[in-house]
Amino acid sequence: MIKRIYISAIVFLTAVSALAGERLSNGRVSVAVDDSGCLTELRNLETGTGYAGGAALWRLYFDTPDQREVQVDGALMKPEISCDGTSILLHYPNMRADGRVDGDLAFSMTLSISLEDDLVRFGVQLSNAQPHTVIRELQYPLVGDLPLGKGYRLMTTTGGGMLYDDVKKRIADAGIKNPYMTPAQHYRQMPLVYPEGAVSANCFALISEKEGLYFGSHDPALVNTGHGLRVYPSAAGVFDRLECGIYKYPSCLCGETWECKANVIAPYSGDWTVTSRIYRAWVNTAWWDRQIPPQWVRTMKSWQRIIFRHQYGEQFFTYADLPGRILEVEKSVGSDAVLVFGWWKAGMDNGNPDYFPDDSQGGFEALQDAITRYEKEGGRAALYFNGKLIDRESGFYKNGRAKGITVTDNTGAETTEHYKFTSFGSFLGQYNYRSFAVADTRRPQWISLMKAWCDMAHALGASSVFYDQMGAVDRGAVNWDLSGEFPIPDLAPLTAKGDAMKQCRDYLHSHYPGMALGSEHITDYLSMYVDYSHGDGLLDFIDWFRYTFPEMILSDRRIRDDNDIERRVNLTVLKGLRNDIEIFRCRGLIDQTPRYQAYLARVNAIKERYPDLLLEGRFAYKDFFSCSNPSVEARCFEGGNRIAVVLTCEEASRQKTRLSVPGYRYVECSTLGGASVSRDGLRVSLDRHALAVLIFEKI
């Protein structure tokens, strides 16, 4: 028997029995089900807002040898309901499928509902006694026919945070992006699975200015979890019945029991920052293990990201350029570091993991000398290594060293990825691209190799190791066990990557103090193990991740030319991001984009003036101030007894705003563009793309 149990404390509450079902209330939240097990009440008692639509709480899917995803609909099952004073219990002694499989199924399930302050916790114990079946998926809890009021937006944690207006339409549109791949005549779904596809935390919410509905899976096992966002039709072609919930994938075989008490819903009061505090409170008690990065990382303003030799053989830079032109350009904008890609003989996205310095440029000694001279002038070099991809044309692969350490799919075949960079023609990217196997990061052989890269980077004189693609979990990169009647996926790839990154971090910090570990992409658990993360760009609501995890040092992305510079660079200051300088997708330097070069130099000068706040300060959103004009973007950073309020504007006309900063007095400011600040620091005027940084000190 398999048991996976998550236990939590239950606070005092009241239970009310009724002929129609059961109800719980603790004075802040109330929840009720009717005698059919449908959710009839989910209410914020502080505001009176209710979110329940009277729909079924759950859905289940199982496989047989002949059929996949056979549905068991909770709306068609009637449970035995009881309440023990602290929890509502719904027991289903057996089940019946939706027509595709005849007769009763020997599946049994007990659902529990309990209250913890603002949280409603939903537990489940699921048993499978049906021969030749595997229970693949349980969608629970579900809040169906959700009556969404005006002013609500959908907040997901994709890329650190995304906001969507017109929630139902956005979900419906997402559900038909890939036509004929889903049963779109029945429902439309926005596909989100933590931690795949850049979903950076295991929660989402429906938010408004004063209240909202939070969905989270506070699951210390960190297994893949679906964020259920569906709309069903109320009439032909009208998809407007909203359903939100949490999906788990138990892979529960005959003779097994699966348990989970991780899923929570919170009808909360306040703005969206409440969702951050809910999630972070859980993280702090579950798995938080962040270490303080080296000081040079904490005060790093920006880096250049450049490819020396590309995947198709074109040479953009040489080792000699590192202490030469690369360093010179870096100093022109006040940048601090360089992420060195494609430095090895085979070049970028070639030969992994055979990272051998280029002998045509003088080999190891020449690269070591270049890095040493570069760092003596104050630069910091981070050497690139890919943390998971194995080139199928590399010596490592061809010599059989990859055997047994690669990810395999549900047929036992090796999982592959492809990189389709192009040169001047079209044939290369269309047909003759690179193919890679995916390393299984659980394997000791692979972790040993990653540690050896730390040794190599140190021997070459670098200040950092950068492991590409190790900050997130890719869709489809799941190992399968084919030893039983049904193939079973390992749905904890996050912990596998996390263990590898933790071992590398601990090895690097213990053997080479002062060296830093970086990675690409952001996911809560994985980003914890690195000193800095190369993020996913200036997405519209990276504020969520920055507020929830202010310790994590993140970069921007995708400023690759001289277009729209002021707006985008201002946003990096506003949201506390380091600048990733990747001119022409890492093929050039910033002196080839003179507008970007000039403006970033001015911005970095401001960062250098207030490093304790803009670089090392805590991103605090709007915790310490208010801004009267919603057309002005404003955020703040806290450090010691001071805060920095950053303001910028994207409106075509000049905007004026008043600030209220209770408990603080104005000290000074720095501005760019058409920005002016009153003598008391409480009135600010901004032209389009102007920037103002105001410093306040605690009274």
- Name the domain count of the chain: 3
If asked whether residues 94 and 128 sit together in one domain, one would say: yes
Q: List the one residue out of 690, 339, 366 whose CA is nearest residue 532.
A: 339
Do 27 and 159 lie in one domain? The reply is yes
CA torsion angle 326 327 329 331 (round to 10): 160
pLDDT at 127 over 60: yes
pLDDT tens-place string over residues 202-261: 999 999 999 999 999 999 999 999 999 999 999 988 999 999 999 999 999 999 999 999
Q: Quick one: 403 exposed, middle or buried, by C-beta within 10 A (0-12, 13-18, 19+)?
A: exposed
Structure tokens belonging to residue 487: 């193939």
- Whether residue 306 sits in one domain with residue 228: no
The answer to whether residues 681 and 602 belong to one domain is no
493 in a domain, yes or no? no
Among residues 231, 196, 203, the alpha carbon closest in space to that of 218 is found at 203
Same domain membership, residue 351 and residue 264: no
Residue with structure tokens 């509905």?
213
Domain boundary among 286, 317, 347: 286
How many of the other CB atoms lie within 10 Å of CB of 335? 24
Q: What is the DSSP string of 538-589?
A: --TTTHHHHHH-TTS-BB-----SSSSHHHHHHHHHHTT-BEEE-TTTTTS-
Same domain, yes or no, for 556 and 525? yes
67 and 156 assigned to the same domain = yes
What confidence score (pLDDT) does residue 539 get?
Answer: 63
Q: Indicate whether 83 belongs to any domain.
A: yes
For residue 538, what pLDDT is reported?
63
Range of the domain at 534: 301-387+444-479+503-609
Instruction: Give residue 278's pLDDT.
Output: 98
635, part of any domain? yes
| 2 lies in some domain | no
Q: Is residue 427 part of a domain?
A: no
Share of the chain above pLDDT 70, in %: 97
Place of tokens 């309901």: 81
Token pair 């005027």: residue: 685
Residues 280, 316 share a domain: no
Task: Quick: pLDDT tens for 578-629.
Answer: 999 999 999 999 999 999 999 999 999 999 999 999 999 999 999 999 999 9
The pTM assigned to this predicted structure is 0.95
Tokens of 685: 């005027």
Q: What's 200's domain CATH number?
A: 2.70.98
Rounded to whole angstroms, the Cα distance separating 95 from 489 reads 25
Q: In whole angstroms, how far apart are CA 600 and each of 326, 340, 580, 593? A: 16, 20, 11, 11
Confidence of residue 575 (pLDDT cuts 50, 70, 90): very high
**Per-residue DSSP letter, 322:** I
| Position 345 in a domain | yes
Together in a domain, 184 and 268: yes
The model's pLDDT over 272-298, given as tens digits with 9 standing for 90+, comes to: 999 999 999 999 999 999 999 999 999
Residue 225 located in a structural domain? yes
> What are 526-552's pLDDT values in tens digits?
999 999 999 876 667 999 999 999 999
- Whether residue 3 lies inside any domain: the answer is no
Q: Which residues contact 98 (CB under 8 A, 6 or more apart)?
A: 70, 71, 72, 73, 76
Last residue of a domain, one of 584, 609, 634: 609
Q: Are residues 511 and 584 in the same domain?
A: yes
222, two tokens: 């960190």
Q: Could you say which of 609, 635, 653 is where a domain stops?
A: 609
Domain with residue 683: its CATH number is 2.60.40.1180
Instruction: Judge if 590 and 644 occupy the same domain.
Output: no
Place of tokens 């210390």: 220
CATH code for the domain of 544: 3.20.20.80
Complete DSSP assignment for 95-132: EE-SSSS-SEE-EEEEEEEEEETTEEEEEEEEEE--TT
The answer to whether residues 281 and 316 belong to one domain is: no
Q: Which of 587, 25, 466 is CA-nearest to residue 267? A: 25
